[in-house]
Amino acid sequence: MLKIISVIVLSLLIGGCAMQSNKEMSSSKIFQSVEEKDATLVQKGKNKGSCSRCGMDLVKFYKTSHIAEHEGTHFQYCSIHCLEEHLGNEITLKNPKVVDVVSLKLIPVSDAHYVVGSKIRGTMSRVSKYAFLNLEDAKKFQTKNGGEIMDFNGALEKAKEDFKHYK
Ligand SMILES: [Zn+2]
């Protein structure tokens, strides 16, 4: 009887620990995460908070988020990778924008300075890509975290290289 009770107690303890670590995992912030109130979500409907390609949480991966339009519909992506994957399907996307890591606002990709390959982990890629509106901010980030500064097309090329590895 004692043995049975100790098994129950033990499994409760283990169960409790597992629950605890799950909780810690979900609340531990990754660099990409923001408060929900700070995220701009442009999609409609119940899946507005999910990447239109892979379904990942857009608030959790907000700092690498991109948006674009196609035939009047707004799409939001967790990363340049899912944007590139959508483009790779021969689709013409309009008005692509990216989150500026500093202001958390969506800015046209043509205005963005991407820091590619810094030590800060990326989304859907081992080579991270973070965008900044101000070149000075990009340089500051680069000084601290490394990486290379390039424009959207350069970052997109890097994203394409990653995709070759997936396939
Ligand atoms: Zn995605």
**Taking the model in full, what pTM does it have?**
0.81
* CA-wise closest residue to 164 among 126, 115, 110, 121: 126
Residue 110: the pLDDT is: 98
Q: How far is the CA of 65 from the centre of ligand 1 (A)?
A: 8
pLDDT along the chain (167 residues), means of 10: 53 45 54 97 97 97 98 96 90 95 98 98 95 98 98 95 65
* Cα Rg, the chain, nearest whole Å: 20
Q: Measured in angstroms, how far is the CA atom of residue 77 from the centroid of ligand 1? A: 5
Q: By the 8 A CB rule, do 45 and 70 touch?
A: no
Helix (H) or strand (E) holding 2: helix 2-27
pLDDT at 155: 97
Which residues, including other chains, have CB under 8 Å from residue 12's CB and lie 6 or more apart?
A: none
Measured in Å, residue 136 CA sits from the centre of ligand 1 at: 28
